[in-house]
Structure 1
Amino acid sequence: MLRLDGDRPVRLQTQGPGNVVRIEGDRPVQFQTSTFNNVAGNMNVSHTTNVGESGLDILYRAVSLDAMHDSAERPADPACHPGTRSAIFYQLEKWSFEQPSDSPILWLHGCAGIGKSAIAQQFAASCHERGQLGGSWFFKRGSVSRGTWKNLVPTLAYQLTVAFPQLGPRIQRAVETDRLVLGKAIHHQLEKLLVQPFRNAPPLASCPVLVIDGLDECEDRGTQTALIRALIDILRSGDSPLHFLVCSRSEPHLRELFEAPENSDVCRGLEIQRDDAAYSDIRRYLTEGFSRVQKIHTARGMLLDDGWPGENTIEHLVKKSSGTFIYASTVLRYVDDEYSHPAERLDAVLSLDPSSLTPLDDLYTQILSSIPNKPTLLRILLAIPETQYLDPEQMDIILRMRRGTSRAILRGLHAVVRVQPPRILGYQKPVQLLHTSFGDFLMDSQRSLSFCISGEDLLNTLVHDMARALLSGSLGSDNFQ
């Protein structure tokens, strides 16, 4: 006998290994699949899965919704500007239709800020529109749900069952055959969930494409290489028609793996070049972006000529971009401030050292320098990457500031930080850095100088403030939903 629901005794009856039924009178009720240990008359219950729970139910519980390209759980990464990156998209689409493919893994790589995530976002959306996207996963450094590989395979596998329903029963059966599969090594998960369901399966109308972005933001280098080695091993067998687009920075340890001669039968590289086409795309992006800013602010009563800011200015910014979209997009966001005159903002950008070899760092410094309360600014900036879940109102509580202070300061950082409107009905929207390069800048004392947030004193103060807020009850459980 086991007592549940207060003091009422309930009889448990096993039906096969781990299958337990709760008996209420003569009526059997499904209970849960569990491990039961009887020690000196005391029964310990270790939960695993529910009886009657399908393989798809088990998969769904392990899905990271915010990792998908079209998830409402996170603000979508910006797509490419219309008319740009056409040569890259042509190559991606051509590869995606190869059946079978000589290179089921395509490594799209390039330097920080060159637009890898934007390309991955748009390519995933394009594949989805033509019924070719099997699933997508966007890593994010430091994120609880997206910073590791733990939920990667179940998230991709579940998306496959939705995109290609004929695979659903096979993937479901793979999970039900081994209900512990999600706790096993990455190679085992990939084999069971992404390769085995295709064996002896009828051919699909198109090759499913799986998009994995930001590999270099996953945990540590060892985990990154282990994931790719596992992918190479399982795809080398040829049992799966899956195409994997893997996007990352051109890190040496990844380049060594993807470009190894022994892996050329599975992997192909596509580098995003800072060539004439890239500069032409940035020129078009800036020209159309400034035209939009000019129209918006002219309608607000500000005096801006039709040709503003002029071809010479655009050419100067194109050159300073060094072929990276992150510089151009940050300039446009900084200039397009509803509480400032865009011409004055642009003048501030143009006044930066024209001979500097680090124009993006100079731009970040200029943006941060425009915020008057530097000590408070640093405390807020540290709270963004360290907590991953705070909205401005929670920051006010933790940092012991007057309500609205965080929003007021973050308003001046809209070029580098995403701040959602105040919560509605208790739903929380955390503050997020717009680009990984800004977080890298803030953590590197040689780049950010006095705006560096990697100091031990700042971190200790934040930890103390969070502990105080939690212990005092200032942050209730509803703050972390």
Structure 2
Amino acid sequence: METVGVLANVIAVVDLSVKLGIVCGEYISKARNAKEDIRKLKEESDALARIIGQIQDLLGDKSTEKSHRRQLNASKTFHQDVERCEKMLFELTERLDPGKNPSRMRIIGKSLKWPFTSTEVSQNIESLRHWRDCFLAALQVDHMHLALQREDIQDIKSLPSAPGAAFDSYDNGSTRVCHHDTRKDLLRDVLEWADDPDGRCIFWLRGPAGTGKSTISKTVAQMFADRGQLAASFFFNRTREGRNTAKLFVTTVARQIAGRVPTLKNLVLRAINEDQDLPDKSLEAQFSKLILEPFSRVELSGVTFPTLILVVDALDECGFEHRSQVDESLESSRLIIKMLSRLATVCNINARIFLTSRPEVPIRLGFLEDVPTGSHQDVALHDIPEPIIEHDIRAFIESELEAIRVSHAITQDWPGDDVVTQLVKASVPLFIYASTICKFIDDRRRRFRPQAQLEKVLRQSEGFRTGIEITYRPILDQLAEDLEEFERKELLARFRKVVGAIILLADPLSITSLGALLGIENDEIRYLLNSLHSVLDVPEDDQPEHSVRLFHLSFREYLLQPHSSADQTFWVDEKSTHKDLFACCLQVMGDQSGSGLRNDLCRLDDPGVRRDEIPRERIYQHIPRSLEYACRYWVMHLRESGSGIHVRDAHEFLTRYLLYWFEAMSWMNLLHQAPRDLLTLEDMFSSQGSSIQSEALLFLRDARRFLAENEHAINLAPYQVYVSALIFAPKASLVKQKFRCEIPGWIVKMPEVAENWDVTSRTIHQYKSPVQNVVWSHDGQYIAVVTFDEVDIWNVTSGVLLERNTDMRHINCITFTNRGMLIIGLSFDGILLWDWVAGLKTTFSIGNGFSEVLTVSAATTGKVSCLLSDGNVYLMSETFDIIHTWYTCWQPSAGDTKRTRSNLHLHYLGRVHFTHNGKILTVIDNEQSNSIHVHDAESGALIQSLSAPEGQMFYEVTASDEGLLLATAGSGSPLGERSDWDDVVMEAFIWDLNGTNASASHSSPRVISSVHCQRPTINQHGLLAYTGDYSYLKIWNVLKDPPELVHTLDYGTCVSFSPDGQHLIAEFNAVKIIYTNALGFVKHASNCTTDIDDSVDMNRQSLSPDGLRLAVVSSRGKVTLWHVGSENEEMGSEVAILDTPWVVPTKPTIRLY
């Protein structure tokens, strides 16, 4: 009301000032004297009218936010000034109006007498100037506020948001709210929970698919929005991009909070302005800055603030992108639960979370282990008494059928109580069944009478036992009604192709785009889908850009799972459909009619143009949605098809369209996905025994190298893939040889380039502090770099820093799990499991809590072993439950000063070995160190106990996955008393634990004598390598009897085999790469001439699992990746890879936008 009052005063001032100007104009023309005074007064009046008019426009503009108007109105001084100005203007106009003040004025003929003296005019002009200045200042201040708030809006909009995540979005339009006569008790409980000042932070509603969780969530969100208590809502959806991962969860919620809760808006803005990179940080960092801190810091100044509700629906449909071999919902859903539970610690505002999900194990574990006791309450929909569920479903069905009856003018006795009861029994306990049946009966295209549709449902209910069959089978059978056998076969084939694609697409498509992808006419698709409106959200004819979407995932699950009955009529073969989609993607990309991939896809004829210079609309004129989909997901469909037969098609496609595909991915800003796709293809080709395997693998590896060298340039200017990328590629590059014809004709002279790719891939980073360790992930896609105070995760293909954690201290050891997470052994507090993708860190206490974790190993089975400084060895499950415990060496007494901490650390490292395949764990026993115990990692049972020769003790032990065990033994001082290895004469002992070779049996191991045998290593092919005095390197074939020395090199201070056993690395001054085959014959030794000095030691070099890349750390903290898979005798010098130069013609070019 205050706004209305101020606006009325302003309008009055405008009217009076305009009137004053008009009256002054009349006096100028009719008064005989004082014309100058009249003119000045008129000018000031007009100036005031203009200023106050702008204020009126500002206050009355509907496009101006209410908050802007409130700022101007909130000034009490401004309101008083307007009132005073209005009063003054009124008095002036009253004195000047001849009709109202005849005593002050007289008409002499056609002239008027001016009623003011010069002094009075000066005073009035001064007053008008004063009001004008006041209002001008107010207007300027408000314009400044307006500009700032518009800037704030832009800052808020800079937060990435998941489209359709809010409860009232268009995407969620098909989700209805609860019927007014259903869920009464549950909704009342939710309201009481929200209003209870002592209520728990999280209300978890759980239930299986189809129980109506999303409908309840939407009802709850609407209920609290109406009460002004809804802070934000996020509806996860497995089939919607942006809503099927946790990536945009925090930023979307924060953006909604800033828009819905003005009190928190400025605090969210402050967080954005303080750290512009927040959207790229981990979810935990985003949550702390964008949500937790604003809630904690808000100052209410004694004002009572209502409870704010955050609604999160379908948490079980949340996963993570781009991680292979991971149950994606495991860490992401648990992380969200853990983050949200932190709102329970907020004191300033009462924040509550209403959350729904299926009762999946990871989510249950999250509430059990990650949420503080007493911070949540849960309700299981499937535990609600059946009579209540039956009542609610009956109320819903009766309401829907009554609406259908009225709409179709059916008699009042339809359908009858007995029929309703039958439908209710078929639907209980799942609301989705009731909803789908009602949609089927009410054919919205009005092709079938509701009575006939209902009869179909009732007939099906007599022949099927399960609710899901009663629900979906009538809908599907209707498709093939009254068809001849050949027509039925045609329809079923079309159904599997169209509907099978719809339920398996990675991203929903419109009918037009779906038709283009599948090669089917739009009318044919629409005709098929006309009978499926009860299970699919099919857009109307006037909505060509809207996608076809599933109403509920249960329909997808029904089609993909073989039915319990013998009838598999509508079953969709998942792998076969993925194979067909893969073929469709290749067809779309290879279309020669002009809509497929080609050189200069956007037809710009300008090799130097950058992607950000071209309007997005122009780009997507040439990349239709079907082509975009094909480029993004063809590899995924090939992988999911599980078909090795079609890798040949993929190879043929790449040899024709690789560079076109790179260009298209760059235009779509998706080039970062291409390296992952190439790696996926490489894995698939590696598992095939086809004749093209070797050729395809070589081409794929060359393509990955080609992209790694040029990704930055191609990403900025896509056409450079044909110019700088090709012309600067080495002569022997397979990509260059295959696509030489794509080099523009205006390049008349090629530059001089190397014959082969240089050994260096890229310099990853120059660290300021010393690098302590570098480890590879099991799939070879990532490396973790450890410094004194941080751990970084790098993508080795793109060279992109994926995650950085600066909160790490006292790291002793680190390794990747088979699922891509990091296990970090600490000098205190046990083991830290870091899921760097989800941003989740979990600490597990091991042992007595005072011992250091010295070594940690993770096998491909998921099991983990670790050695503590107190001598205990632990074998643990993936969840770090202790399976077995052993003991390897004593703990020094308190007064034993000789056995220093560092000395113990040095000599414990080789006393435990866990094989890569997770089958065997070997431990050097305690006290005397004269025996090795070999344990089965599954059962913990002792397999063998191996003794050292008399007078000797074991120092190190290692074993291969194939059961070859290697140990070094020698004479010398007891453990802990020696300071170096100089007085130890050691021998290498080899046992065949599988007993396949009698000469290396339990009782008679093979022995290789050597002086100072150091850092021995053995591979699965029976090759033993070690270094000794004078830095020589020896390689033995221990499968021979006696062992055969196959090679000796006069350099090598430390050695290590690659995981596949095919490559050996040795160090001497610079890095030497030794390539061996399974028999131990050295292919060649190559020298990497680098800037690495002599201080580099072995634990700062690491070979990738495939042995083709080497991570090297210099003493100055420079981390470099080398490609070592080349067959060149000499590997070239390191070259720091900078931006590849762009090549553009000197001729003028024309850009058509």
Scaled by the length of structure 1, the TM-score of the pair is 0.81
In proportion to residue count, which structure has more strand? 2
Is 1:57 the equivalent of 2:155? yes
The count of corresponding residues between Structure 1 and Structure 2 is: 422
In 2: Cα distance, 1:259 partner to 1:357 partner: 36
Question: Which residue of structure 2 aligns with residue 415 of structure 1?
Answer: 534
Check whether the contact 2:307–2:349 (CA below 8 A) recurs between aligned residues.
Answer: no
Gap change, CA 1:96 and 1:463, over 3 Å in 2: same
Q: CA separation in 2, counterparts of 1:463 and 1:393?
A: 19
Deviations 1:323-359 (A, max 9, x none): 2211111111111111012222111111124485412
Kindly report which structure 2 residues correspond to 1:379-418, keeping only aligned pairs within 5 A, or say none: 379-385=497-503, 386-418=505-537
**Aligned pair in 2 of structure 1 residues 309, 152: CA closer, same or farther (>3 Å)?**
same
Kindly state the Cα deviation for residue 283 of structure 1 after the two structures are TM-superposed.
0.9
Give the distance between the partners of 1:58 and 1:477, measured in 2 at CA: 30
Aligned match of 2:289 in 179, 192, 195?
A: 192
Contact map agreement 1:396 1:404 (CA 8 A) in 2: no
Report 1:69-468 matches (<5 A): 69-99=167-197, 101-203=198-300, 205-219=305-319, 220-233=329-342, 235-236=344-345, 238=347, 241-259=350-368, 263-272=372-381, 273-298=384-409, 304-337=410-443, 338-354=446-462, 356-372=464-480, 373-385=491-503, 386-423=505-542, 428-446=545-563, 449-468=568-587
Structure 2: how far apart are the matches of 1:60 and 1:354? 57
- Note if contact 2:501-2:577 (Cα within 8 Å) is conserved in structure 1: no
Identity of aligned residues (%): 26
DSSP-derived class of the 2:164 partner: helix
Q: What displacement does 1:460 show?
A: 1.3
CA distance in 2, matches of 1:89, 1:166: 28
The Cα RMSD (Å) is 2.5
Is residue 102–residue 265 contact of structure 1 (8 Å, CA) maintained in 2?
A: no
SS at match of 2:522: coil
Aligned to 2:408, what secondary structure does the other structure show? Answer: helix
User: Could you list the per-position Cα deviations for residues 302-337 of structure 1 after superposition, in whole angstroms to 9, with x for gaps in the alignment?
Assistant: xx4321111111111111112221111111111111
Deviation at 1:160, TM superposition (A): 0.8
Out of 446-455 and 383-392, give the one that drifted further.
446-455
Q: CA deviation at 1:293?
A: 1.3
- The amino acid that maps onto 1:318 is V
Classify 1:283/1:234 alpha carbon distance in 2 versus 1 (closer, same or farther; 3 Å).
closer
Could you tell me how far apart the structure 2 residues matched to 1:214 and 1:463 are? 30
**Per-residue deviation, 1:162:** 1.2
Which amino acid counterpart does residue 193 of structure 1 have in structure 2? L
| d(CA) in 1 for partners of 2:463, 2:519 | 42
Query: Higher relative CO (CA 8 A, sep ≥ 6), structure 1 or 2?
Result: 1
The 3 A distance-change label for structure 1 pair 403 and 355 is closer
> CA offset at residue 423 of structure 1?
4.7
Whether the aligned pair in 1 keeps the contact of 2:202 and 2:354 (CA below 8 Å) is yes
Deviation for aligned residue 1:199: 2.5
| Paired residue secondary structure (2:259) | helix
* Cα deviation code 1:400-441 (max 9, x no counterpart): 2233111111110011011111355xx610001111211222
In 1, distance between residues paired with 2:466 and 2:372?
A: 36
Deviation at 1:129, TM superposition (A): 1.2
**Structure holding more helix per residue:** 1
- Residue in structure 1 matched with residue 936 of structure 2 by the alignment: none
- Give the CA deviation at 1:263: 3.2
Amino acid at match of 1:347: E
Comparing 342-351 and 56-65, the one that deviates more: 56-65
8 Å contact from structure 1 (residues 236, 266) kept in 2: no
Deviations along 1:41-76, one digit per CA (max 9) or x if unpaired, are xxxxxxxxxxx9759626544012311111135534
What is the aligned partner in structure 1 of residue 832 from structure 2?
A: none
1:7-26 to 2 correspondence within 5 Å?
A: none
The one-letter amino acid of 2:456's match is: A
User: For 1:434 and 1:89, how far apart are their aligned partners in 2?
Assistant: 24
Residue 471 (structure 1) shift: 3.7
Q: Which amino acid aligns with 2:298?
A: A
Cα gap change, 1:308/1:147 in structure 2, threshold over 3 Å: closer, same or farther?
Answer: same
* Paired amino acid for 2:235: F
Q: Which residue of 1 aligns with 2:820?
A: none
CA distance in 1, matches of 2:242, 2:577: 25
- Tell me if the contact between 2:502 and 2:549 (Cα under 8 Å) persists in the aligned partners: yes
Q: Distance in 1 between matches of 2:386 and 2:369?
A: 25
Aligned equivalents of 2:291 and 2:467: distance in 1?
A: 44
Cα distance in 2 for partners of 1:261, 1:139 equals 21
Partner of residue 477 from structure 1, selected from 610, 623, 626 = 623
SS at match of 1:187: helix
Aligned partners of 2:574, 2:211: CA distance in 1, in Å?
A: 29
Instruction: Determine the C-alpha separation between the residues in 2 that align with 1:280 and 1:55.
Output: 47
Tell me if the contact between 2:201 and 2:344 (Cα under 8 Å) persists in the aligned partners. Answer: yes
- Matched to 1:420, the amino acid is P
Q: Contact between 2:316 and 2:360, CA under 8 Å: does it hold in 1?
A: yes
Q: What amino acid sits opposite 2:499 in the alignment?
A: L
Q: 1:288 to 1:53 in 2, by over 3 A?
A: closer
Report the CA distance shift for 1:199/1:360 in structure 2 as closer, same or farther (over 3 A): same
Q: In the alignment, is the contact (CA less than 8 A) between 1:55 and 1:174 conserved in 2? A: no
Structure 1 residue runs without a partner (length 5+)? 1-51, 299-303
What secondary structure, in the 3-state scheme, does the structure 2 residue paired with 1:134 have? strand
Q: Structure 2: give runs of 5+ residues left out of the alignment.
A: 1-149, 320-328, 481-490, 597-621, 629-1153
| Secondary structure of 1:404's aligned partner | helix
Q: Distance in 1 between matches of 2:463 and 2:370?
A: 41
TM-score, normalization by structure 2: 0.35
What's the secondary structure of 1:209's corresponding residue? strand
For the 8 Å contact 1:191–1:234, the answer to whether it is kept is no
Query: Take 2:344 and 2:157, find their aligned partners in 1: how far apart are those partners?
Result: 22
Aligned to 1:15: none
Secondary structure of residue in 1 paired with 2:509: coil
Q: Matches of 1:208 and 1:237 in 2, distance apart?
A: 12
Give the 3-state SS of the residue equivalent to 1:268 in structure 2: strand
Q: Which residue of 1 aligns with 2:633?
A: none
C-alpha distance in structure 2 between counterparts of 1:311 and 1:382, whole Å = 38
Distance change in 2, residues 1:274/1:341 (3 Å)? farther
Contact 1:127 1:209 in 2 (8 A): yes
When residues 262 and 215 of structure 1 are mapped into structure 2, their CA distance, relative to the original with a 3 A threshold, is closer
Q: Is the partner of 1:69 in helix, strand or coil?
A: coil
Query: Which of 1 and 2 has greater Rg?
Result: 2
Task: Give the aligned residue type for 2:418.
Answer: N
The structural deviation recorded for 1:187 is 1.8
- 8 Å contact 2:386–2:429 — kept in the other structure? yes
